[in-house]
Amino acid sequence: MADDFKFYTELIVRYEETDAMSVVYYGKYFVYFEVARTEYLKNIGYNYVNIERDGFYFVVAESNCKYFSPARYDDDLKIFAKIEYIKNSSFNFLYNIVKVEKGENKNGNSKGPDVNIAKGNTVLVCVDNVDFRPRRIPDYLRRAIQNFEGF
């Protein structure tokens, strides 16, 4: 499901993230994407605080999500993230969320494979943190992304 992703983060679905049907509210998946984005950047050596101190913001210019199976309260999720491409002032994150099936059934066998929950993407644009005009992605961040992703 997520073989071509080099990074993932994990979380457990909290009760407040579910709706009246006892499933994760559809808008919360974009929060999960943001969690993965933030952790991805930390993983390659940078975080939003440092990037903002350098005078940059990353604004979401586009976001999409396709849902396959519901996640529910207390599910263990893995949110895979990778950068598909990087341009002068923008880059595209891809995400794949899976529910981790843990434990064993009464026969001692694994409960089953991970379940594909949702896939999505966000296009982020680098802007100046004062006037919000597009800026070239800082070279240090560009190099870190290229080194991590191998492109």
Residue 1 lies in a domain: no
- Domain tally for the chain? 1
Residue 61 lies in a domain: yes
- pLDDT at res. 34: 97
In a domain, 42, yes or no: yes
Sign of torsion over alpha carbons 41, 47, 50, 55? positive
The residue segments making up the domain with residue 68 are 7-149
Does a structural domain hold residue 83?
yes
pTM of the model: 0.90
Is 108 domain-assigned? yes
Taking residues 63-88, report their average pLDDT. 97
Q: What is the CATH number of the domain that holds 61?
A: 3.10.129.10
- Do the domain assignments include residue 104? yes
For the chain, percent of residues with pLDDT exceeding 70:
92
Helices and strands (DSSP H and E) totals, the chain: 3, 5
pLDDT digits over 2-48, tens only? 679 999 999 999 999 999 999 999 999 999 999 999 999 999 999 88
Sheet with 90-99, strands from edge to edge, namely: 7-12, 76-86, 90-99, 115-128, 56-67
